[in-house]
Structure 1
Amino acid sequence: MAIKIAPLVAVLCSSLLSGVLFSFPLASATPYASMAGNSSRIVELAAQISSNVAQLQGQLSAQDLPSPSFNENFNASYPANVTHLRDSLLDATAELHELLLDPLLVLFKFASISNLAIIDAVARYKIPDMIPPGGRMSFEEIGEKIGLETNVIRRFLRSAMAMHILEEPEPGMVGHTSISRFLANPAINGWAEFEGRDTWPASTRIVDALQKWPNSQQPNETAWVLANNGKTVQDVIATEPERAQRFINGRSAIDYVPGYNMSLLSTAYDWASLGAAKIVHVGGAMGQAAIELTKNFPDITVIVQDSKAMMGGGQLVPEDLKGRVLFEEGGLFVPQNETVPVYFFRLAFRGLGDQFAQQILKAQIPALQPGVKLLIQDVVMPEQNVVPLWKERTQRSVDMALQVFGNGRERYLDEWKALFAAADERFVLEKVHVPTDSLLDIIEVTWKG
């Protein structure tokens, strides 16, 4: 998540799988799977890169858009009609790079702990905040501000520069790149600090947790618990305010992940087809999703259910929407008491093992009427070689992080179907909506009671 970039836009086709309409990207002329066995693969990749770069630059020039750059003012936002070229280039350049490395260096590329330590240092010392936009500071000046000797700060910052975080426009001077400017965003800086100080120590215990608690789905039998003296994430949030704030900062950064932004919710599903519907958003926090929906669909009313602490008194709701964004104390595991035609869940299931995810579904049953919808905005994991490799790597990295925190996971289509059936066979998965601009699908479930 180094630069804020446009989400994936793939060409979609529809396939009927086990009675469920599901959309997958069409195969491109160059498959996403590696062809490393071909002795001329590097020549093929070079030709593909050259052709795609020419096409990409042509499209950008035609639309009067800047070419990709590490210049601090560059905003990596790409139009929809070039995304397939970008996908192809990201995969091809990565494959070429990794083909030309020795095996040890490929392993080092993916295993380098020092890179995260460098990012943590840049974030924790708030170095991007020190340098004004368009300005420069010397290594000595930065060292004086944070109490480190010049040789120490130079060592760290030149390592960051090797990753295009900051630059040295002239000897001894430090300036911004687009990535360091992005790190100056408080939410992103908070995420980077959370990753370095909290996520990484827990991630090193994943295999230890697997060996200690094989196949566990319990939230108190995780890598996080091993790394935090027996405390779950909830325990840490409740007892350690500083770390709780880092966790909140890390969560808030999700809106900057390409394809996860809340603004994409309105186009992820045909909300207008619901008419003058009342929707319950279970676990809706401070109403961010409710605000997005009601401001774009004037016939919709949303009841946000969560704990008082999470709802924050509805302080985010604009005055003109307060009659259509309502708050009610409740939560994911609290028996449902509102009878409405639609219940909405956003990223509510991924952090939980199946038995706890089933509890959320079962908690809704007391209020459900035949034909009501459950709309679940979440990830349906792709099979191998279906999406670009750069995207797949990101998705699988996020999937492993979910295991660290609470033994949650991203689910494949068959796992979603099994989850609904295990909760109650009257939950029927009707369709998975795959938006063209969002990385989060909408899973449409009907209650057949």
Structure 2
Amino acid sequence: MASNSVCQIPESRIIQLARIISESVAKIDEALSEQGLEPLSFDDGAPAGYLPSEVSGGVRDAVIDATAELHDLLLEPLHLIKAYSGSNNSVCMQAIARYGIASMVPPGDQMMSFADIGKRTGLGEQMAARLLRHAMTMRVFREPEPGLVAHTKASRLLASPEMTAWMRIGTEEMWPAATKMLDALEKWPGSQEPNETAYSLSQNSMQSIYETIGSNPEKSARFAWAMAVWATRPDYSPSHVINGYDWAALGNQNSHNHLIKVVDVGGARGHVAAALAQRFPNLDVLVQDMEMVVAGAAAALPEQHLVRAGRVRFEAHDLFAAQTTSSAVGADVFFFRWILHNWADKHCVATLRAQIPALKPGARILVMDTCMPEPGVDYYLGEKGEDVVKTRAIPLWMERDLRSEDLNMGAIFNSRERTLREWKALFTEADPAFVLGAVTKPEGSALTVMEVMWLPSSN
């Protein structure tokens, strides 16, 4: 007797991806509509902000990864390799930044001709058109009429001084260094020194990036402008410092003295310190950084009431010098936000050991930094306990960005981004009395909070 059952053909991967894209896009569109937000667009007038939290996590990640995978599946292997090794992509971006083209083009629906851009930049009409038409394939600028240039949302963003500086740093400092990375690895195998880097080779110098910037006022100003871009990103917001750690609980654990001393090591001009002191009245924060960084910082801080009350103070300090000043000795927390990833392991170990003279039993080293995913697995969300940590699969687009940043750190600083296991090994190498405790990745934050306890009795 013949069977009536029908053998089901497994769904192909491209159909699976199409379904993921369709379902996820519907959710995003619904969320935007419910909040009265404009549809997503490349137009100059479209909102340049980030998506609302309801769609900026898993749903958006699903669409980005699925569309990228579908795109890559449909390419021939040679085209796929070429797409990811486009060495010329930065040329047009470099031209836009170097000549300030984004600020030349008027906003809105107004337009500017290739001829005018070529004349003002000195590039000439033909080259201006070639460069900008390449940028247009990446949604930067558009050509609404032949020979005329108008803004997209992305090109309009590049018109700001901060973004211009950021793009110039990327194309004129980071990009040339990347091309020298293998040369540096061959010239200085195994080096951890900040002046034996691809960046040093690209500058034809034996100076580190810190020395190069410090001796060049123009580059120093450009780097300061560029770093301001990071402060505008929600995933690097100081709010994650405030909400990502239980600062209020520190007072409860210190019943004899409700005033908690925090040393913000490498705290720059004090914007994070001020945010902490403003939110938590039980915190006094000492900001330490290089003398040229903290000079005039107290007078320039908007929250002058915190300065007058002595709740935010500034002190010149060498990152590698022993913590022996009376203002730092006996502090409850030594806070390192996005500092240690700039340094190779040996220098991180030296920095951690430099804190020991100031540490009392039970003091905390609080490190807020990038935490890389373990290969093929996840990034860390956090939980109390030394080894028990919740995880969640990382989207491929985010991992690609992290892996790129890791190589960038190697080329520029001779440093690296680290996994949680590598962070833990680093703390133990510095001293076994550094015991990793709670690990937390605040929702929406690019950085992970690692609490390290100083427990000398545990040796």
Q: TM-score higher than 0.5 here?
A: yes
Alignment check: 8 A CA contact 1:380 1:441 kept? yes
Which residues in structure 2 correspond to 1:276-315 (within 5 Å)?
276-314=259-297, 315=300
Larger displacement relative to structure 2 (262-271 or 352-361)? 262-271
CA–CA distance in structure 2, aligned partners of residues 108 and 240 of structure 1? 37
CA–CA distance in structure 2, aligned partners of residues 385 and 448 of structure 1? 31
CA–CA distance in structure 2, aligned partners of residues 142 and 298 of structure 1? 54
Gaps spanning 5+ residues in structure 2: where?
Answer: 1-9, 252-258, 379-393
Q: 1:429 to 1:81 in 2, by over 3 A?
A: same
CA–CA distance in structure 2, aligned partners of residues 155 and 301 of structure 1? 56
Query: Which of 329, 334, 348 does residue 339 from structure 2 map onto?
Result: 348
Deviation of 1:258 after TM superposition, in Å, equals 4.9
Which residues in structure 2 correspond to 1:179-198 (within 5 Å)?
179-198=154-173
Alignment check: 8 A CA contact 1:283 1:331 kept? no
Percent identity between matched residues is 43
Alignment check: 8 A CA contact 2:335 2:366 kept? yes
Matched, 1:429 2:414: no
Partner residue, 1:9: none
Q: 1:207 to 1:412 in 2, by over 3 A?
A: same
Aligned positions, number = 412
Larger displacement relative to structure 2 (276-285 or 354-363)? 276-285
CA–CA distance in structure 2, aligned partners of residues 378 and 393 of structure 1? 18
> Root-mean-square deviation (CA), in Å?
1.7
Matched, 1:400 2:374: no
CA–CA distance in structure 1, aligned partners of residues 20 and 305 of structure 2? 52
Larger displacement relative to structure 2 (130-139 or 182-191)? 130-139
CA–CA distance in structure 2, aligned partners of residues 101 and 425 of structure 1? 51
| Secondary structure of residue in 1 paired with 2:453 | strand
Partner residue, 1:390: 397
Alignment check: 8 A CA contact 1:72 1:181 kept? yes
| Secondary structure of residue in 2 paired with 1:72 | coil
Partner residue, 1:247: 223
* TM-score, scaled relative to structure 2: 0.86
Matched, 1:232 2:217: no
Matched, 1:64 2:27: no
Matched, 1:118 2:92: yes
Q: 1:186 to 1:162 in 2, by over 3 A?
A: same
CA–CA distance in structure 2, aligned partners of residues 136 and 195 of structure 1? 27
Alignment check: 8 A CA contact 1:287 1:317 kept? no
2:84 partner letter: F
Query: Which of 13, 18, 39 does residue 41 from structure 1 map onto?
Result: 13
Deviation of 1:39 after TM superposition, in Å, equals 8.1
Deviation of 1:149 after TM superposition, in Å, equals 1.8
Deviation of 1:253 after TM superposition, in Å, equals 2.5
Partner residue, 2:3: none
Matched, 1:53 2:25: yes
| Secondary structure of residue in 2 paired with 1:345 | strand
Partner residue, 1:374: 365
Alignment check: 8 A CA contact 2:65 2:396 kept? yes
**1:45-83 deviations in Å (ceiling 9; x for gaps):** 111111111121112111111221111132242222222
**1:272-322 deviations in Å (ceiling 9; x for gaps):** 222342211111111121122122223322101122201131123422221
| Secondary structure of residue in 2 paired with 1:65 | coil
